[in-house]
Structure 1
Amino acid sequence: MMELFLIFILGTCLGSFYNVVALRLMDGKEVNHFIFGRSSCPKCEEILAPLELIPLISFLALRGRCRHCRGKISPIYFVGEMITGITFVIIFVSIGASLSLIPHLLLGSLLVISVITDLLKGIVLNKMIFFFGILILLTRIVIIEELFYHLISGLFSFLLLFAVMVLSGHKMGGGDVKLYGIIGLGVGLLDSLASLFFASLIGLAVMLPGLISGRISRKTEIPFVPFIWAGVMVTYMVDVLTIFI
């Protein structure tokens, strides 16, 4: 249990960093800015003290407000830290402590960053797709674990989602298509298809009440990456359950 707690803490700490990466890249800032730049309040730009940067706890303790100007802090910071911690725990439980864990945690990291950018601006950053795609590919090469299968899985997943995008009249975004290429590379074809099924199912369940009530229409643009993240996480959990069945 302590091992899972430490994995969760590691995830929240990285989630705090991923928030900064996503937000600053969306603002067009250079890489060295979020690596070397100090965190500050987005409203008053006051530099934050170390005690204001504790993942999850600082946000709750300050009740979502800046200690200096009392301006509201976006809940996306809390969400990013929380889902990264959850992501790391689910993946660790599913994969276990081995070298094979690395590409899966990299995929989880990409998904978290993409959830943040999709929720805020409806985009998936090409820089992150390329960066994490290369890292996942390199780890697959080093591990030499079903490399060919994962390469074919990534290509097939990309082409499948590309076909869906075209046939749906581009209702699915190109970022989702590219993201699924990396998902296929990370988890393999079968789990990639399973995650797409779960993502669609979860998305339908969430959207159906709004469609029935008329609050949203079929033309309403809904961020799909959060559902993709949920679908991938459910797939990892199902893989764990199949071990015990």
Structure 2
Amino acid sequence: MIGDCKMDIFIFFILGTLFGSFYNVVAFSLLDKGQENLKHILLGRSHCPNCKEKLSVIEMIPIVSYILLLGKCKNCKQSISCYYLLGELITSVTFALLYHNFGFSIDLLIHLTLGSLLVISVITDIKKRLILNKLLIVFGAIILILRIVLHIALDFYLLYYLVSGFVMFLSLFLVMVLSGNKLGGGDVKLYGVIALTIGALDAFYSLFFASVLGLLIMIPGMLLGKVDRKTQIPFVPFIWIGVLLTYYIDVSAYLL
């Protein structure tokens, strides 16, 4: 039984690498060419971003191909962005952890949808400090539909999650306004979707985790004079970690 569970987790890890490869293409294509490139995303064949040579089957194997080719194109020998490896790794970790937590369920599908949004947003935030509205709308709509389905099928707390999304968005919107836009509008909207998925309480906990992690990363740079209060750092990677931590750390148990 334990062996079967580990195998299922491994399968979801591998599945995550495949989706991660696709999410990389989505993130880079939307950042570079916008919505008109969606058809190419869905139907086009992967190619080297430098020489445009179409990739062979071996070159399209997630993670493994990047390592074997030392992060370089087989044809032109130019370096390929490490973002591709990053996207595949964090997606595989996300899928494996979520399956470990939820097993096969509608809940798993809902949280995989959020996980996918976070993964793509990690890439876009690191690359260009952007959280794309079109992604928030699409993934938020999918999560809302799944929440409604879960409510109809199992009478499962729809109102709580709807209120959570609204309260989280409104709270962080006020923080953004009162702080003089020190909190990004993309982060505010993203947290509305996060709260719709995991509820307001866990969303606030994830924000706490993300803020602590971000501060720990910034402190050494501030002490060395390389980072100051005006330095912009991508916050979504910390949000991604913060959300995953809420699945495994029951903060409420420590507060009671």
Secondary structure of the structure 2 residue equivalent to 1:237? coil
Tell me the equivalent position of 2:213: 202
Identity value in percent? 54
Stretch of structure 1 that moved more, 182-191 or 88-97:
88-97
Tell me the equivalent position of 1:153: 164
- Listed as ranges, the gaps of 5+ residues in structure 2 are 1-5
CA shift for structure 1 position 166: 1.3
Secondary structure of the structure 1 residue equivalent to 2:76? coil
Tell me the equivalent position of 1:111: 118
Whether the 8 Å contact between 1:154 and 1:182 is mirrored in structure 2 is: yes
Match of 1:7 among 8, 12, 22: 12
Match of 2:84 among 72, 77, 80: 77
Whether the 8 Å contact between 1:94 and 1:239 is mirrored in structure 2 is: no
- Aligned residue pair count: 241
Tell me the equivalent position of 1:18: 23
RMSD: 1.2
Tell me the equivalent position of 1:219: 230
- Following superposition of structure 1 onto structure 2, how do residues 1-245 of structure 1 map, counting pairs within 5 Å? 1-27=6-32, 28=34, 29-144=36-151, 145-239=156-250
Tell me the equivalent position of 2:3: none
The superposition leaves residues 179-229 of structure 1 with CA deviations (integer Å, 9 ceiling, x where unpaired) of 000000010111101100000011011111111221100000111111111
Whether the 8 Å contact between 1:90 and 1:237 is mirrored in structure 2 is: no
TM-score (norm 1): 0.96
Looking at structure 2, the residues matched to 54 and 238 of structure 1 have their Cα atoms a distance apart, in angstroms, of 34
CA shift for structure 1 position 239: 4.5
CA shift for structure 1 position 109: 0.2
- Listed as ranges, the gaps of 5+ residues in structure 1 are none
The superposition leaves residues 120-167 of structure 1 with CA deviations (integer Å, 9 ceiling, x where unpaired) of 000001110000000000000011121110000111111111112112
Looking at structure 2, the residues matched to 50 and 168 of structure 1 have their Cα atoms a distance apart, in angstroms, of 50
Looking at structure 1, the residues matched to 89 and 216 of structure 2 have their Cα atoms a distance apart, in angstroms, of 23
TM-score (norm 2): 0.92
Looking at structure 1, the residues matched to 59 and 250 of structure 2 have their Cα atoms a distance apart, in angstroms, of 38
Q: Which amino acid aligns with 2:117?
A: L
